[in-house]
Amino acid sequence: MQLKNKIAKCRISGKCYRQGGFTLVELLVAIGIIGVMTGMVLFSLAGARTDVQVSQTRHTIEKINAVILEEWEKYRYRAARIDIDQEVLRPNRNLGGQPPLSPREGARMRMIVLRDLMRMEMPDRWTDILYPPTAYEAALNTTNVNVPDIAFYAGNSLANASVGPGARNVPGKLNIFRSQVNLPTFASPYVGGVAASPPLSSLSSEVIENQGAELLYMIVANANYSGGSALETFNPSEIGDTDEDGLPEFLDAWGNPIRWIRWPSGFASPLNLPYNPNLNTGNADAMDPLRADWRWSSNRWQTAAGTPAKPWLLVPLVVSAGPDEVFDIAFDQAQGIAYATHQWSAGGVYSADNAYYFPDPYIGSFDSNGIYTGLGLGSAIDTDGDGSFEGTADNISNYNLILE
Protein backbone atom coordinates (compact mmCIF):
# COMPACT_ATOMS: atom_id res chain seq x y z
CA MET A 1 0.00 0.00 0.00
CA GLN A 2 2.83 2.41 0.85
CA LEU A 3 4.59 1.56 -2.42
CA LYS A 4 1.48 2.34 -4.43
CA ASN A 5 1.07 5.67 -2.63
CA LYS A 6 4.72 6.56 -3.31
CA ILE A 7 4.39 5.75 -7.02
CA ALA A 8 1.22 7.82 -7.22
CA LYS A 9 2.97 10.80 -5.60
CA CYS A 10 5.89 10.47 -8.04
CA ARG A 11 3.53 10.54 -10.97
CA ILE A 12 1.82 13.63 -9.65
CA SER A 13 4.99 15.59 -8.67
CA GLY A 14 7.31 14.35 -11.49
CA LYS A 15 10.29 14.39 -9.10
CA CYS A 16 11.01 10.80 -8.25
CA TYR A 17 13.02 9.99 -11.43
CA ARG A 18 15.32 13.06 -11.27
CA GLN A 19 17.08 12.28 -8.07
CA GLY A 20 20.86 11.94 -8.70
CA GLY A 21 20.84 12.50 -12.58
CA PHE A 22 20.25 14.83 -15.59
CA THR A 23 17.59 14.92 -18.20
CA LEU A 24 18.48 14.41 -21.87
CA VAL A 25 17.85 18.11 -22.55
CA GLU A 26 20.25 19.15 -19.82
CA LEU A 27 22.93 16.83 -21.17
CA LEU A 28 22.53 18.21 -24.69
CA VAL A 29 22.76 21.79 -23.43
CA ALA A 30 25.90 20.98 -21.45
CA ILE A 31 27.51 19.25 -24.43
CA GLY A 32 26.64 22.22 -26.63
CA ILE A 33 28.24 24.68 -24.22
CA ILE A 34 31.37 22.56 -23.99
CA GLY A 35 31.50 22.40 -27.81
CA VAL A 36 31.22 26.18 -28.15
CA MET A 37 33.91 26.74 -25.54
CA THR A 38 36.19 24.20 -27.22
CA GLY A 39 35.66 25.91 -30.58
CA MET A 40 36.52 29.28 -29.04
CA VAL A 41 39.71 27.86 -27.54
CA LEU A 42 40.74 26.19 -30.80
CA PHE A 43 39.99 29.37 -32.75
CA SER A 44 42.14 31.37 -30.34
CA LEU A 45 44.94 28.83 -30.61
CA ALA A 46 44.73 28.90 -34.42
CA GLY A 47 44.85 32.69 -34.38
CA ALA A 48 47.84 32.64 -32.06
CA ARG A 49 49.61 30.12 -34.31
CA THR A 50 48.98 32.32 -37.36
CA ASP A 51 50.35 35.32 -35.48
CA VAL A 52 53.51 33.37 -34.70
CA GLN A 53 53.86 32.28 -38.33
CA VAL A 54 53.41 35.85 -39.56
CA SER A 55 56.04 37.05 -37.09
CA GLN A 56 58.48 34.33 -38.19
CA THR A 57 57.96 35.18 -41.86
CA ARG A 58 58.41 38.90 -41.23
CA HIS A 59 61.70 38.13 -39.48
CA THR A 60 62.93 36.05 -42.42
CA ILE A 61 61.93 38.75 -44.91
CA GLU A 62 63.60 41.38 -42.74
CA LYS A 63 66.91 39.53 -43.00
CA ILE A 64 66.57 39.04 -46.76
CA ASN A 65 65.60 42.67 -47.20
CA ALA A 66 68.71 43.88 -45.35
CA VAL A 67 70.97 41.97 -47.75
CA ILE A 68 69.05 42.89 -50.92
CA LEU A 69 68.87 46.60 -50.08
CA GLU A 70 72.58 46.70 -49.28
CA GLU A 71 73.35 45.18 -52.69
CA TRP A 72 70.82 47.47 -54.41
CA GLU A 73 72.17 50.64 -52.78
CA LYS A 74 75.60 50.02 -54.33
CA TYR A 75 74.23 50.89 -57.76
CA ARG A 76 73.59 54.48 -56.75
CA TYR A 77 77.33 55.09 -56.92
CA ARG A 78 78.46 52.15 -59.00
CA ALA A 79 81.12 52.81 -61.61
CA ALA A 80 79.86 51.56 -64.96
CA ARG A 81 82.65 50.37 -67.22
CA ILE A 82 82.01 51.36 -70.84
CA ASP A 83 84.61 50.77 -73.56
CA ILE A 84 84.42 53.88 -75.76
CA ASP A 85 86.76 55.02 -78.50
CA GLN A 86 88.34 58.24 -77.25
CA GLU A 87 87.68 59.85 -80.62
CA VAL A 88 83.99 60.14 -79.81
CA LEU A 89 84.82 62.06 -76.63
CA ARG A 90 87.26 64.57 -78.11
CA PRO A 91 86.11 68.06 -79.15
CA ASN A 92 85.37 68.16 -82.87
CA ARG A 93 86.03 71.26 -84.99
CA ASN A 94 83.09 70.45 -87.28
CA LEU A 95 80.80 70.42 -84.26
CA GLY A 96 81.86 73.74 -82.82
CA GLY A 97 84.21 72.14 -80.34
CA GLN A 98 81.63 69.64 -79.07
CA PRO A 99 82.41 65.90 -78.97
CA PRO A 100 80.49 63.51 -81.27
CA LEU A 101 79.08 61.78 -78.19
CA SER A 102 77.05 64.40 -76.37
CA PRO A 103 76.97 64.45 -72.54
CA ARG A 104 73.27 63.53 -72.66
CA GLU A 105 73.90 60.49 -74.86
CA GLY A 106 76.83 59.51 -72.66
CA ALA A 107 74.61 59.69 -69.57
CA ARG A 108 71.95 57.61 -71.30
CA MET A 109 74.48 54.95 -72.24
CA ARG A 110 75.73 54.83 -68.66
CA MET A 111 72.13 54.42 -67.42
CA ILE A 112 71.59 51.49 -69.80
CA VAL A 113 74.84 49.85 -68.69
CA LEU A 114 73.90 50.31 -65.01
CA ARG A 115 70.47 48.79 -65.52
CA ASP A 116 72.00 45.90 -67.42
CA LEU A 117 74.45 45.30 -64.58
CA MET A 118 71.54 45.12 -62.15
CA ARG A 119 69.82 42.66 -64.49
CA MET A 120 72.87 40.37 -64.56
CA GLU A 121 73.99 40.72 -60.92
CA MET A 122 70.57 40.83 -59.21
CA PRO A 123 68.48 38.53 -61.41
CA ASP A 124 64.83 37.84 -60.65
CA ARG A 125 64.10 35.60 -63.69
CA TRP A 126 66.09 33.05 -65.66
CA THR A 127 66.19 35.27 -68.77
CA ASP A 128 68.35 37.66 -66.74
CA ILE A 129 71.21 35.16 -66.69
CA LEU A 130 70.58 33.39 -70.01
CA TYR A 131 71.59 36.51 -71.93
CA PRO A 132 75.05 38.09 -72.20
CA PRO A 133 75.44 41.85 -71.74
CA THR A 134 73.01 43.69 -73.97
CA ALA A 135 74.15 46.00 -76.80
CA TYR A 136 75.08 49.44 -75.52
CA GLU A 137 74.09 51.92 -78.21
CA ALA A 138 74.14 55.71 -78.46
CA ALA A 139 73.75 58.31 -81.20
CA LEU A 140 76.71 60.29 -82.51
CA ASN A 141 76.75 63.72 -84.08
CA THR A 142 79.36 63.75 -86.85
CA THR A 143 78.28 66.71 -89.01
CA ASN A 144 75.82 68.74 -86.92
CA VAL A 145 75.87 69.08 -83.16
CA ASN A 146 72.06 69.01 -83.06
CA VAL A 147 71.47 66.18 -85.52
CA PRO A 148 72.46 62.60 -84.54
CA ASP A 149 73.41 60.87 -87.75
CA ILE A 150 75.01 57.52 -86.92
CA ALA A 151 74.49 54.85 -84.32
CA PHE A 152 77.42 54.02 -82.09
CA TYR A 153 77.95 50.76 -80.21
CA ALA A 154 80.20 50.79 -77.18
CA GLY A 155 83.20 48.56 -77.68
CA ASN A 156 83.68 49.62 -81.31
CA SER A 157 86.05 52.14 -82.84
CA LEU A 158 84.62 55.30 -84.36
CA ALA A 159 85.41 53.93 -87.82
CA ASN A 160 83.32 50.83 -87.10
CA ALA A 161 80.76 52.53 -84.88
CA SER A 162 77.65 51.00 -86.45
CA VAL A 163 78.78 47.54 -87.53
CA GLY A 164 77.06 45.86 -84.57
CA PRO A 165 77.46 45.34 -80.84
CA GLY A 166 81.07 45.76 -79.76
CA ALA A 167 83.02 44.12 -76.94
CA ARG A 168 81.27 44.22 -73.54
CA ASN A 169 82.56 43.36 -70.12
CA VAL A 170 80.86 40.37 -68.46
CA PRO A 171 80.38 40.83 -64.71
CA GLY A 172 81.82 38.07 -62.58
CA LYS A 173 78.54 37.44 -60.73
CA LEU A 174 76.74 36.60 -63.96
CA ASN A 175 79.18 33.77 -64.66
CA ILE A 176 78.99 32.64 -61.02
CA PHE A 177 75.21 32.34 -61.27
CA ARG A 178 75.46 30.52 -64.60
CA SER A 179 78.00 28.03 -63.26
CA GLN A 180 75.79 27.34 -60.23
CA VAL A 181 73.01 26.14 -62.54
CA ASN A 182 75.42 24.22 -64.78
CA LEU A 183 75.44 26.70 -67.67
CA PRO A 184 78.65 27.53 -69.56
CA THR A 185 80.16 30.88 -68.66
CA PHE A 186 80.41 33.79 -71.08
CA ALA A 187 83.81 34.89 -72.33
CA SER A 188 84.80 38.36 -71.18
CA PRO A 189 84.98 40.66 -72.99
CA TYR A 190 81.99 39.32 -74.84
CA VAL A 191 81.71 40.02 -78.56
CA GLY A 192 78.61 39.17 -80.51
CA GLY A 193 74.88 39.62 -80.68
CA VAL A 194 72.36 39.51 -77.86
CA ALA A 195 71.03 35.96 -77.84
CA ALA A 196 69.98 33.63 -75.04
CA SER A 197 72.30 30.75 -74.20
CA PRO A 198 70.70 28.24 -73.92
CA PRO A 199 67.65 29.32 -75.98
CA LEU A 200 64.45 30.39 -74.24
CA SER A 201 62.73 27.21 -75.41
CA SER A 202 64.66 25.40 -72.69
CA LEU A 203 62.57 27.13 -70.03
CA SER A 204 59.59 24.98 -69.03
CA SER A 205 56.71 26.22 -66.87
CA GLU A 206 58.03 24.09 -64.00
CA VAL A 207 61.45 25.76 -64.24
CA ILE A 208 59.88 29.23 -64.35
CA GLU A 209 57.54 28.68 -61.39
CA ASN A 210 60.13 29.19 -58.64
CA GLN A 211 62.64 31.26 -60.60
CA GLY A 212 62.34 34.39 -58.46
CA ALA A 213 62.68 32.43 -55.22
CA GLU A 214 65.66 30.39 -56.40
CA LEU A 215 67.51 33.38 -57.81
CA LEU A 216 66.81 35.34 -54.62
CA TYR A 217 68.57 32.60 -52.66
CA MET A 218 71.51 32.65 -55.09
CA ILE A 219 71.92 36.42 -54.72
CA VAL A 220 71.93 36.23 -50.92
CA ALA A 221 74.16 33.14 -50.89
CA ASN A 222 76.79 35.01 -52.91
CA ALA A 223 76.58 38.21 -50.87
CA ASN A 224 78.43 39.38 -47.79
CA TYR A 225 76.67 41.05 -44.89
CA SER A 226 78.08 42.46 -41.65
CA GLY A 227 81.52 41.11 -42.40
CA GLY A 228 80.53 37.55 -43.19
CA SER A 229 78.46 35.38 -45.46
CA ALA A 230 74.88 36.61 -45.64
CA LEU A 231 73.62 33.03 -45.25
CA GLU A 232 75.02 32.83 -41.72
CA THR A 233 72.04 34.81 -40.39
CA PHE A 234 69.46 32.24 -41.57
CA ASN A 235 68.26 29.13 -39.76
CA PRO A 236 67.98 25.76 -41.56
CA SER A 237 64.18 25.93 -41.17
CA GLU A 238 64.15 29.08 -43.32
CA ILE A 239 65.70 27.29 -46.31
CA GLY A 240 64.30 24.45 -48.41
CA ASP A 241 63.91 23.05 -51.91
CA THR A 242 60.18 22.74 -52.50
CA ASP A 243 60.45 21.55 -56.10
CA GLU A 244 63.43 19.26 -55.40
CA ASP A 245 65.49 20.59 -58.32
CA GLY A 246 68.63 21.13 -56.28
CA LEU A 247 68.17 24.92 -56.13
CA PRO A 248 67.24 26.12 -52.62
CA GLU A 249 64.71 28.80 -51.75
CA PHE A 250 63.98 30.84 -48.65
CA LEU A 251 60.76 29.60 -47.07
CA ASP A 252 58.02 31.38 -45.16
CA ALA A 253 56.45 29.85 -42.04
CA TRP A 254 53.93 27.95 -44.20
CA GLY A 255 56.72 26.21 -46.09
CA ASN A 256 56.27 28.19 -49.32
CA PRO A 257 59.06 29.93 -51.29
CA ILE A 258 59.56 33.65 -50.67
CA ARG A 259 59.79 35.46 -54.00
CA TRP A 260 61.20 38.76 -55.15
CA ILE A 261 60.90 41.33 -57.96
CA ARG A 262 63.83 43.62 -58.71
CA TRP A 263 61.76 46.32 -60.45
CA PRO A 264 58.18 46.07 -59.07
CA SER A 265 56.79 49.06 -60.99
CA GLY A 266 53.18 47.87 -60.59
CA PHE A 267 53.18 47.08 -56.87
CA ALA A 268 50.58 49.19 -55.11
CA SER A 269 52.27 51.10 -52.29
CA PRO A 270 52.94 54.68 -51.15
CA LEU A 271 56.59 53.79 -51.79
CA ASN A 272 55.86 53.13 -55.44
CA LEU A 273 54.29 56.21 -57.04
CA PRO A 274 55.25 57.81 -60.38
CA TYR A 275 57.25 60.96 -59.80
CA ASN A 276 55.35 64.21 -60.35
CA PRO A 277 57.86 67.08 -60.56
CA ASN A 278 55.07 69.67 -60.42
CA LEU A 279 53.77 68.52 -57.05
CA ASN A 280 57.00 66.82 -55.93
CA THR A 281 55.11 63.61 -55.16
CA GLY A 282 56.69 60.21 -55.46
CA ASN A 283 60.44 59.75 -55.53
CA ALA A 284 62.49 60.39 -58.68
CA ASP A 285 64.65 57.51 -59.86
CA ALA A 286 67.88 57.88 -57.88
CA MET A 287 69.56 55.35 -60.17
CA ASP A 288 69.27 57.88 -63.01
CA PRO A 289 70.48 61.13 -61.38
CA LEU A 290 71.10 62.85 -64.74
CA ARG A 291 67.57 61.98 -65.87
CA ALA A 292 68.65 60.33 -69.09
CA ASP A 293 65.61 58.05 -69.39
CA TRP A 294 63.62 59.06 -72.47
CA ARG A 295 60.54 59.71 -70.34
CA TRP A 296 62.20 62.79 -68.85
CA SER A 297 62.43 64.50 -72.24
CA SER A 298 58.76 64.24 -73.17
CA ASN A 299 55.43 65.29 -71.66
CA ARG A 300 53.80 62.25 -73.22
CA TRP A 301 54.17 60.21 -70.05
CA GLN A 302 51.24 61.03 -67.78
CA THR A 303 48.70 59.59 -65.42
CA ALA A 304 45.08 59.17 -66.54
CA ALA A 305 44.38 62.48 -64.75
CA GLY A 306 46.89 64.27 -66.98
CA THR A 307 49.59 64.81 -64.35
CA PRO A 308 53.25 64.02 -65.15
CA ALA A 309 54.43 60.45 -64.57
CA LYS A 310 58.21 60.51 -64.61
CA PRO A 311 60.58 57.65 -63.75
CA TRP A 312 60.41 56.84 -60.06
CA LEU A 313 62.56 54.97 -57.58
CA LEU A 314 61.83 51.23 -57.65
CA VAL A 315 62.58 49.57 -54.33
CA PRO A 316 63.02 45.78 -54.73
CA LEU A 317 60.06 43.71 -53.50
CA VAL A 318 60.53 40.65 -51.28
CA VAL A 319 57.19 38.96 -50.63
CA SER A 320 55.49 35.94 -49.05
CA ALA A 321 51.99 34.78 -50.02
CA GLY A 322 51.06 34.77 -46.32
CA PRO A 323 48.54 32.55 -44.53
CA ASP A 324 46.27 31.98 -47.54
CA GLU A 325 49.30 30.92 -49.64
CA VAL A 326 48.04 32.98 -52.62
CA PHE A 327 50.08 35.89 -54.05
CA ASP A 328 47.61 37.38 -56.56
CA ILE A 329 50.38 39.61 -57.95
CA ALA A 330 52.10 39.61 -61.36
CA PHE A 331 55.61 38.17 -61.46
CA ASP A 332 55.80 38.36 -65.26
CA GLN A 333 54.06 39.85 -68.28
CA ALA A 334 51.89 37.86 -70.69
CA GLN A 335 54.65 37.55 -73.31
CA GLY A 336 57.42 37.02 -70.79
CA ILE A 337 60.14 39.56 -70.06
CA ALA A 338 63.69 39.45 -71.39
CA TYR A 339 65.24 42.75 -70.34
CA ALA A 340 68.40 42.18 -72.39
CA THR A 341 66.46 42.27 -75.66
CA HIS A 342 63.77 44.75 -74.73
CA GLN A 343 63.69 47.59 -77.25
CA TRP A 344 62.56 51.18 -76.88
CA SER A 345 59.81 51.84 -79.39
CA ALA A 346 58.16 55.01 -78.14
CA GLY A 347 60.05 57.49 -80.32
CA GLY A 348 62.57 60.14 -79.43
CA VAL A 349 65.55 57.93 -80.16
CA TYR A 350 67.93 57.58 -83.06
CA SER A 351 68.35 53.95 -84.10
CA ALA A 352 68.48 53.91 -87.90
CA ASP A 353 68.33 50.25 -88.97
CA ASN A 354 69.61 49.01 -85.63
CA ALA A 355 67.68 47.62 -82.67
CA TYR A 356 67.95 50.00 -79.73
CA TYR A 357 68.16 47.80 -76.66
CA PHE A 358 66.73 49.46 -73.60
CA PRO A 359 66.46 47.42 -70.35
CA ASP A 360 63.33 49.12 -69.03
CA PRO A 361 62.39 48.80 -65.34
CA TYR A 362 58.90 50.15 -66.10
CA ILE A 363 57.73 47.50 -68.58
CA GLY A 364 53.93 47.26 -68.50
CA SER A 365 53.44 50.45 -66.47
CA PHE A 366 52.34 52.59 -69.43
CA ASP A 367 50.05 51.95 -72.38
CA SER A 368 50.99 52.67 -76.01
CA ASN A 369 49.91 56.30 -75.57
CA GLY A 370 52.20 56.87 -72.60
CA ILE A 371 49.39 56.80 -70.01
CA TYR A 372 50.31 55.25 -66.68
CA THR A 373 48.32 52.05 -66.09
CA GLY A 374 50.00 50.63 -62.98
CA LEU A 375 50.11 47.19 -64.62
CA GLY A 376 53.84 46.58 -64.29
CA LEU A 377 55.41 43.75 -62.32
CA GLY A 378 53.91 43.39 -58.85
CA SER A 379 50.46 44.61 -59.90
CA ALA A 380 47.40 42.77 -58.60
CA ILE A 381 46.11 39.91 -60.76
CA ASP A 382 43.83 36.95 -60.09
CA THR A 383 46.26 34.05 -59.91
CA ASP A 384 43.97 31.51 -58.24
CA GLY A 385 40.88 32.07 -60.41
CA ASP A 386 38.54 33.13 -57.63
CA GLY A 387 37.51 36.30 -59.44
CA SER A 388 39.20 38.65 -56.98
CA PHE A 389 42.54 40.02 -55.82
CA GLU A 390 41.92 39.02 -52.20
CA GLY A 391 45.10 36.97 -52.14
CA THR A 392 47.10 40.21 -51.85
CA ALA A 393 45.42 41.16 -48.56
CA ASP A 394 47.57 38.95 -46.32
CA ASN A 395 50.79 39.04 -48.33
CA ILE A 396 53.82 39.85 -46.19
CA SER A 397 56.49 41.99 -47.82
CA ASN A 398 59.52 44.13 -47.07
CA TYR A 399 57.39 47.13 -48.08
CA ASN A 400 55.35 46.54 -44.90
CA LEU A 401 58.55 46.65 -42.88
CA ILE A 402 59.93 49.75 -44.61
CA LEU A 403 56.72 51.73 -44.09
CA GLU A 404 56.44 50.91 -40.37
Quick: pLDDT tens for 94-109. 888 999 998 888 999 9
- The CA distance from 319 to 58, in Å, is 9
Domain count across the chain: 1
Q: Encode pLDDT of 276-324 as tens digits.
A: 999 999 999 999 999 999 899 888 999 999 999 999 999 999 999 999 9
- Render the burial of 251-277: b for 16+ CB within 10 Å, e for the rest: bbbbebbbbbbbbbbbbbeebbbbbbe
At 140 the pLDDT is 87
Tell me: pLDDT of 184 over 80.
Answer: yes
Provide the residue type at 330 as one letter: A
- The CA distance from 177 to 197, in Å, is 13
Q: Encode pLDDT of 123-177 as tens digits.
A: 999 999 999 999 998 888 888 877 777 888 888 888 888 888 889 999 999 999 9
Tell me: pLDDT of 20 over 80.
Answer: no
Is 32 among the domain residues?
no
**What confidence tier does 66 reach under pLDDT thresholds 50, 70, 90?**
very high
Query: Mean pLDDT of all residues in the chain?
Result: 88
Is 3 among the domain residues?
no
At 221 the pLDDT is 97
Is 104 among the domain residues?
yes
Are the C-beta atoms of 317 and 378 separated by less than 8 Å?
A: yes
3-state SS track over 275-320: EECCCCECCECCCCCCCCCHHHHCCCCECCCCCECECECCCCEEEE
Provide CB contacts within 8 A for 85, sequence distance 6+.
Answer: 156, 157, 158, 161
Domain residue limits at 197: 59-403
**What confidence tier does 16 reach under pLDDT thresholds 50, 70, 90?**
low
Are the C-beta atoms of 240 and 252 separated by less than 8 Å?
A: no
Provide CB contacts within 8 A for 74, sequence distance 6+.
Answer: none
Instruction: List the one residue out of 362, 132, 333, 117 whose CA is nearest residue 264.
Output: 362
Is 37 among the domain residues?
no
Tell me: pLDDT of 338 over 70.
Answer: yes
Are the C-beta atoms of 224 and 266 separated by less than 8 Å?
A: no
Is 332 among the domain residues?
yes
Q: How far is CA 301 from CA 304, 306, 311, in A?
A: 10, 9, 9
At 7 the pLDDT is 47
Tell me: pLDDT of 334 over 90.
Answer: no
Is 44 among the domain residues?
no
Average pLDDT over residues 118-122: 98
**What confidence tier does 3 reach under pLDDT thresholds 50, 70, 90?**
very low
3-state SS track over the chain: CHHHHHHHHHHHHCCCCCCCCCCHHHHHHHHHHHHHHHHHHHHHHHHHHHHHHHHHHHHHHHHHHHHHHHHHHHHHCCCCCCCCCHHHCCCEHHHCCECCCCHHHHHHHHHHHHHHHHHHHCCCCCHHHHCCCCCCEEEECCCECCECCEEEECCCCHHHCCCCCCCECCCHHHHHHHHHCCCCCCCCCECCCCCCCCCHHHCCHHHHHCHHHHHHHHHHHCCEECCEEHHHHCCHHHEECCCCCCCCEEECCCCCECEEECCCCCCCCCCCCCEECCCCECCECCCCCCCCCHHHHCCCCECCCCCECECECCCCEEEECCCCCCCCECCCCCCCCCHHHCECCCCCCCCCCCCCECCCCCCCCECCCCEECCCCCCCECCCCCCCCCHHHCCCEEHHHHHHC
- The CA distance from 178 to 158, in Å, is 33
At 250 the pLDDT is 98
Is 43 among the domain residues?
no
Provide the residue type at 169 as one letter: N
At 201 the pLDDT is 81
- The CA distance from 292 to 153, in Å, is 17
Is 255 among the domain residues?
yes
Are the C-beta atoms of 191 and 166 separated by less than 8 Å?
A: yes
**What confidence tier does 43 reach under pLDDT thresholds 50, 70, 90?**
low
Q: Encode pLDDT of 72-99 as tens digits.
A: 999 998 888 888 889 889 998 888 899 9
Q: What are phi and psi of 318, to 5 degrees?
A: -115, 125
3-state SS track over 110-171: HHHHHHHHHHHHCCCCCHHHHCCCCCCEEEECCCECCECCEEEECCCCHHHCCCCCCCECCC
At 350 the pLDDT is 61
